[in-house]
Amino acid sequence: MSITNTQYIVTGAAGFIGSAVVWGLNRRGIDDILIVDHLGESEKWKNLRALRYADYMEKDDFLRELAANGLPSKAKVVIHLGACSSTTQLDASYLVHNNFEYTKLLATLCTARGARFIYASSAATYGAGEQGYSDALDGIPELRPLNMYGYSKQMFDLWAIRNGLVNAIAGMKFTNVFGPNERHKGPMRSMVCRAFEQIRDTGTVKLFKSCRPEYADGEQKRDFVYVKDIVEMILFLLDRPDLCGIYNAGSGLAETWNDLVSAVFDAMGKPRRIEYIDMPEILKGKYQYYTCADMTKLRSAGFTGGRTPLAEAVADYVRGYLLPDKYLGDEPSN
């Protein structure tokens, strides 16, 4: 099986953010896309049903063809979102192979050919935030991720900097992304999706108690960002091949878990009922109590969108997709 000779390649394209990017490209009239993923036994194939693309390829077949023959001649853009995103994955060797080595191969091939390469880093690289949340390149070596997933992303960021590729590619440090097409992610679904299910089934949402006295229960803060805003950021970088480096991709605001789930209750028209439960031992010491992306670099580059207010984004997700059981692409075209 050979790689289809398309202009666009999106890896992880059946996944959450990947399928959203294909949706965004489709809305521009672009369907000359090779989508790459590993479908396995999950239901993420449902994310593909309403999307338009030229061909599908399993990740292992894609990697074998890349190693043997390189990129297809027509390829001008690779948006690399394929990765294991589980923050509780303990197999470090698997994460190195899947998240680090895979990205190195694609970045090397793209830069050698002059193809645009945009890849997913992660805000998990910031760890507990001791060094802040600036995406300035000189601060990246000082970051200390709290889990191996975050470190696998940090490994590539550092490799790209050391080898000079960071000046020819664009990386994006995603924060807490939520939105349609994430239901296949199991325990890694956003709290919006899980809260919706809990409210639907029990009328109550469970949140972790705080283990730090400076944070009340449910008042831990994260930078929550709607997946449609993330797509807008990625397409902005796609339109600006002159913009290289590593960029934060978030809302630029820190909001609480209580704020988030309250927005879900409101979107569903249900009374707010929150129960606080003990944090699992596996998360203690690896849990981020505060994240807030510094969006200065991307906005200084000219990006003006991508900040849908939390309540508005949650309402769009809940009412437009979760309640009617729809996926991106099922909605009427604008």
Cβ(87)–Cβ(102) below 8 Å? no
Q: Which amino acid is at 264?
A: V
Cβ(95)–Cβ(148) below 8 Å? yes
Nearest-angstrom CA–CA distance, 88 and 149: 8
| Distance of alpha carbon 67 from the chain centroid | 26
Q: Name the nearest CA neighbour of 297 among 252, 241, 254, 247.
A: 247
With 0.75 as the threshold, say if the pTM is over it: yes
* Residue whose pair of structure tokens reads 């090779």 in the numeric block: 34
The domains found in the chain, sorted by start residue, are 8-178+224-252+293-307 (3.40.50.720)
As a whole number of Å, the CA-based R_g of the chain is: 19
Nearest-angstrom CA–CA distance, 64 and 231: 29
pLDDT tens digits, one per residue of 192-230: 999 999 999 999 999 999 989 999 999 999 999 999 999
Q: Name the nearest CA neighbour of 245 among 328, 134, 166, 303.
A: 166
Predicted confidence at residue 146, as pLDDT, reads: 85
Predicted confidence at residue 255, as pLDDT, reads: 97
Q: What are phi and psi of 290, to 5 degrees?
A: -150, 130
334 has pLDDT over 60: no
Write the DSSP assignment of 189-219 as a string of letters: S-HHHHHHHHHHHHS-EEEEPPSSTTS-TT-
Average of per-residue pLDDT values in the chain: 93
Predicted confidence at residue 118, as pLDDT, reads: 98
Pinpoint the alpha helices (H) of the chain: 16-27, 59-69, 92-95, 102-113, 148-162, 191-202, 227-239, 257-268, 296-300, 310-317
* Residue whose pair of structure tokens reads 């229960």 in the numeric block: 217
Strand residue runs (E) in 113-153: 116-122
Nearest-angstrom CA–CA distance, 23 and 37: 16
CA angle (156, 138, 221) in 5-degree steps = 80
27 has pLDDT over 90: yes
pLDDT tens digits, one per residue of 222-251: 999 999 999 999 999 999 999 999 999 999
333 has pLDDT over 60: no
Q: Would you name the residues annotated as active-site residues?
A: 149, 185
Report in angstroms the alpha-carbon separations of 169 from 3, 28, 255, 261: 22, 23, 31, 36
| Distance of alpha carbon 101 from the chain centroid | 19
Token code pair at residue 71: 């990129």
Write the DSSP assignment of 266-292 as a string of letters: HHHT----EEEEPPPTTTTTS--SB--
The H or E element containing residue 80 is strand 77-80
Q: Name the nearest CA neighbour of 179 among 316, 39, 323.
A: 316
pLDDT tens digits, one per residue of 111-132: 999 999 999 999 889 887 888 8
